[in-house]
Amino acid sequence: MSSPSNTTTMPLAAKIGLYAFLIASALFFLAPLIVIVINSVKPMADIRSGSLLSLPSEITFEPWRIAWSSACTGLDCSGIRPGLMNSILITVPSVIISVLAGALNGYALAQWRARFADWLMLLILIGLFVPYQAMLYPTVKMLSGMGIFRSYWGIIFVHVVYGLPYTTLLFRNFYVGVPDEISRAARMEGATFLRTFWSVILPISTNIIVVVAILQFTGIWNDYLLGLIFAGNDNMPMTVQLTNIVNNSRGAAEPNVNMAAALLAAIPTLVVYFISGRYFVRGIATGAVKG
């Protein structure tokens, strides 16, 4: 512990100030979540008569039920449930495939010590920062050519490919630190590169796999733009359906239903975050550059 002065040696006033600031900040960070949670269980009457910050007169799960199964997006009133199913169906295979692709490519890059391997790294690093806008339209055209634009496999393909620089980089940095003897021993016994990767390297990569899987899960689950453009109407992810429900302001807007819908969309990634805090934090610095 190298800290300059810690709470045990601090004067009382400073200590109070420190905790006061931290608690105030915690409130700032928690406020939106608290407001949304409270209002999602509030009857409409309470919302009409008071502000969002007032406590509910009674707790009702009606808004959750409506958000789940009967809120409207345009003419379709089946709630956010189809969006949730679509998000799961898109996210799960996308995460699995992009973890495998990133691991394989990252391992190959780490193994391959050619002169211009460094230049390939540069291409990947730049790829992390390319705004999607500079790729979107040609990608639409190419996917149309492949016959998968606005389809289930189309959106998965886009998530995997657009995620490649990032998954590759994370795995490559991990595999550079793995002793070469492991791969060499496998090769001596006649295992191919792919064989070595599958039965020797992958099993020792659990940590990095978890880190990448969590970040890809968060990123893909939370994606809006790619889903909107590439998924097609039958596969719209939850984020897109949520905005449709909220912006569908025919008749009286129902903030409590909207908030219940927003929570439903946020719960899966929040659960993953709370369960996997350490891994989430580990990948976060690299993860944040994506999207």
Do the beta carbons of residue 196 and residue 187 sit within 8 Å?
yes
CB proximity list for 279: less than 8 A, separation 6 or greater: 207, 210, 211, 214
Instruction: For residue 21, state whether it binds another protein (rule: CB under 8 A).
Output: yes
Query: Which residue number, 168 or 205, has a Cβ lying nearer to another protein?
Result: 168
Query: Which residue number, 107 or 209, has a Cβ lying nearer to another protein?
Result: 107
Triad 35, 217, 90: Cα angle to 5°: 105
Instruction: For residue 173, state whether it binds another protein (rule: CB under 8 A).
Output: no
Could you tell me the smallest distance in angstroms from the CB atom of residue 139 to another protein?
A: 6
Q: Among 165, 212, 235, 279, indicate the residue that binds another protein (CB under 8 A).
A: 165
Query: Which residue number, 208 or 215, has a Cβ lying nearer to another protein?
Result: 215
Interatomic CA distance for residues 291 and 227, integer angstroms: 12
Q: Among 148, 229, 231, 260, indicate the residue that binds another protein (CB under 8 A).
A: 229
| CA proximity to 74, closest of 246, 211, 195, 196 | 246
- Tell me whether residue 121 is exposed, middle or buried, using C-beta atoms within 10 angstroms of its C-beta: 0 to 12, 13 to 18, 19 or more: middle
Query: Which residue number, 113 or 250, has a Cβ lying nearer to another protein?
Result: 113
Instruction: For residue 284, state whether it binds another protein (rule: CB under 8 A).
Output: yes
Could you tell me the smallest distance in angstroms from the CB atom of residue 58 to another protein?
A: 19
Q: Among 69, 112, 199, 234, indicate the residue that binds another protein (CB under 8 A).
A: 112
Q: How far is CA 214 from CA 45, 143, 161, in A?
A: 40, 27, 17
Query: Which residue number, 53 or 59, has a Cβ lying nearer to another protein?
Result: 53
| CA proximity to 135, closest of 154, 153, 99, 161 | 161
Interatomic CA distance for residues 187 and 179, integer angstroms: 14
The stretch near another protein (CB under 8 A) out of 66-74, 131-139, 144-152, 200-208 is 131-139
**Type and span of the H or E element at 84:** helix 81-111
Q: Among 120, 178, 200, 210, indicate the residue that binds another protein (CB under 8 A).
A: 120
The stretch near another protein (CB under 8 A) out of 23-31, 58-66, 89-97, 146-154 is 23-31
Binders of another protein among residues 49 to 108 (CB under 8 A) are: 50-54, 101, 104-105, 107-108
Could you tell me the smallest distance in angstroms from the CB atom of residue 246 to another protein?
A: 6
